[in-house]
Chains A and B, each alone.
Chain A
């Protein structure tokens, strides 16, 4: 069964504006990790940010922040002050504590307009 859901196949955002990418997940394990990756057109997978299920605060890394709502099982990525170089596909992923598998969502394509 699909554990990671990204419902936005594509999004457009104006340069310098913020964009929120949705991610919901499903797990019965109380301990898990959530990850976001960026994949530019070159194909490489770039790790952006991590949120642990027991973390009390939302994770932040530079212009990236994670809006973690545990009860709703959502882990939305917020990119602030969008830049042209942010145009890429973005993937949400999850790994449960008792599992070595890292499962990915279908991804969201972000296009930043000048």
Chain B
């Protein structure tokens, strides 16, 4: 069966510090991978998605970047965090075909920038 791992679960970082959140998927190949951010009590904002190694699409210009160094690994990074980067970050995967396949989510990382 497929599983998705996302860590850490909680993170408190000072303003200006770097960030690296990692997400890995097991039990599938060539998945679509996604990073979402959710502000408290709000909807999910798509940040990045990837359809293959090294292929990253950015949805919102911001202080963050993403990379996909391996087929089932997706990394969200920042060189210098801002207060506005605080939020709940969710990684997700779906089968490569578009349209009718649901996305499966990790447990999320709650990031607080202080």
A and B interact: yes
Q: Classify chain B's interface size.
A: 20 to 34
Residues facing A in B43-81 (CB within 8 A) are: 43-44, 46, 49, 51, 57, 59
Closest to A10 in B: B41
Closest to A47 in B: B102
Q: How far does the alpha carbon of A60 sit from the alpha carbon of B6 in the complex, in Å? A: 30
Residues in chain A within 8 A of chain B (CB atoms)? 6, 31-33, 35, 43-45, 47, 50, 52, 89, 91, 93, 95-107, 109
Q: A32-B99, A44-B107, A45-B90 are in contact. List 11 more A-B contacts (CB 8 A).
A: A33-B100, A43-B90, A47-B102, A50-B100, A89-B41, A95-B100, A96-B99, A103-B46, A105-B43, A107-B43, A109-B41
Residues in chain B within 8 A of chain A (CB atoms)? 32, 34, 36, 41-44, 46, 49, 51, 57, 59, 88, 90, 92, 94, 98-105, 107-108, 110
